[in-house]
């Protein structure tokens, strides 16, 4: 955890614990570090998704027992994921992930208030492993990904830190078994198991489970050191991605102008668009930048303009780039409508990205 500077010695830490082997190992490791003065105060969060009936109840009981064993404050959050999905809030997997991280933000805020520490100084620790990272890599190779997607996971992303990304699930299970074998305190479920198993992880009709049980084992047959090689490769991709992101930010600073609080309140009321909708002007100089860096800048701008759950489409980025001619200059009169009902329009001043309703109202005003 310290090698990647994921936490400080006084950093309040919220551990997201499902009860599986990875998160159970994370809890023990965090407790060991905290006892040694190498990690700040810890609390444990378990989110009950109400998706697996009595098995999920057992997960919650195990997580609470683990928190009690380690002397950690325990937060439990109950979320009816099937109900939210049925109400049209997304598929169950997406809803579970979104609500789980929202619950973690709330629990961390509560824990930090108890300690009189700003929430910005806290961290949410997840138990993602090298196996999860490799699975993400293969999943993204199948469905496609945006800039930097093949780094697979970041060790830290905002308040969320992933300290176990260099370790395999097998290593963590070996750690749990060694802990029990040497007589160290361990939690067990009603069947005496050292961690909980989610039976749905074996259902290969689910995308991740298919990759986990079909694709990754086949790749390991060709290279038994797949985990080591893939982690090294993804970290190399991450280093290059960080460099390109820094270059893209400099281009954005030079060539992108936020259009402030457009649309004006009166226009927003007239067309039914919130005042806080983001809009941007790409200055003519943007057209002269290298194409890969242009795409990175546009990817970030569209992420800001689209709903959080939306995926930026490559055709949208291509449509914005098409507003610049072969000489890099904006093509006056160019207009297109891309995903999210975003208008792309060009004139000699540059290329504008704005909500379509605002574009139409602006054109109507002349």
**Rounded Cα distance, 301 and 296, in Å:** 9
Nearest of 92, 52, 46, 97 to residue 72 by alpha carbon: 46
The DSSP bridge partners found for residue 256 are 282
Largest CA distance in the chain: 79
316 has binding-site annotation:
no
Residue 21 marked ligand-binding: yes
Taken in order 348, 352, 357, 358, is the CA torsion positive or negative?
negative
| Residue 260 CB neighbour total at 10 angstroms | 9
β-pair partners for 355: 342
22 is known to lie in a ligand binding site: yes
82 φ/ψ angles, rounded to the nearest 5 degrees: -55, -40
Is residue 120 a known part of a binding site?
A: no
Question: What residues have CB less than 8 Å from 283, skipping those under 6 apart?
Answer: 254, 255, 256, 257, 349, 350
Close Cβ partners of 93 (under 8 Å, ≥ 6 residues apart): none
Binding residues for ATP: 18-23
Binding residues: 18-23
């Amino acid at each position: 955890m310290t090698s990647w500077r994921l936490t400080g010695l006084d950093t309040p830490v919220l551990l997201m614990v499902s009860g599986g082997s990875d998160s159970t190992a994370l809890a023990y490791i965090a407790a060991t570090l905290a006892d040694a003065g190498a990690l700040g105060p810890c609390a444990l969060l378990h989110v009950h998704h109400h998706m697996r009936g009595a098995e999920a109840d057992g997960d919650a009981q195990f997580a609470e027992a683990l928190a009690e064993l380690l002397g950690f404050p325990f937060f439990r959050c109950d979320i009816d994921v099937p109900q939210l999905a049925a109400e049209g809030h997304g598929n169950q997997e997406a809803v579970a992930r979104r609500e789980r991280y929202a619950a973690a933000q709330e629990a961390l805020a509560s824990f930090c208030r108890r300690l009189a520490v700003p929430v910005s100084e806290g961290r949410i620790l997840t138990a993602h492993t090298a196996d999860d990272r490799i699975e993400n890599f293969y999943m993204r190779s199948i469905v496609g990904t945006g800039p930097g997607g093949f780094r697979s996971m970041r060790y830290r992303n905002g308040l969320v830190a992933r300290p176990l990304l260099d370790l395999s699930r097998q290593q963590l299970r070996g750690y749990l078994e060694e802990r029990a074998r040497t007589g160290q305190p361990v939690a067990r479920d009603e069947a005496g198991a050292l961690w909980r198993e989610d039976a749905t992880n074996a259902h290969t009709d689910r995308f991740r489970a298919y990759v986990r049980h079909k694709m990754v084992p086949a790749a390991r047959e060709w290279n038994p050191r797949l985990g080591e090689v893939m982690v090294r490769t993804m970290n190399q991709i991450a280093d290059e991605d960080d460099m390109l992101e820094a270059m893209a930010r400099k281009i954005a600073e030079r060539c992108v102008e936020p259009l402030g609080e457009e649309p004006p309140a009166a226009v927003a009321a007239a067309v039914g668009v919130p005042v806080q909708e983001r809009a941007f002007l790409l200055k003519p100089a943007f057209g002269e930048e290298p194409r890969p860096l242009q795409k990175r800048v546009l990817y970030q701008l569209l992420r800001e303009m689209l709903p959080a759950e939306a995926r930026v489409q490559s055709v949208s980025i291509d449509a914005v780039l098409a507003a610049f001619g072969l000489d890099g200059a904006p093509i006056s009169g160019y207009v297109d409508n891309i995903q999210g009902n975003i208008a792309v329009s060009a004139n000699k001043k540059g290329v504008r990205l704005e909500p379509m309703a605002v574009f139409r109202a602006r054109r109507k005003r002349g």
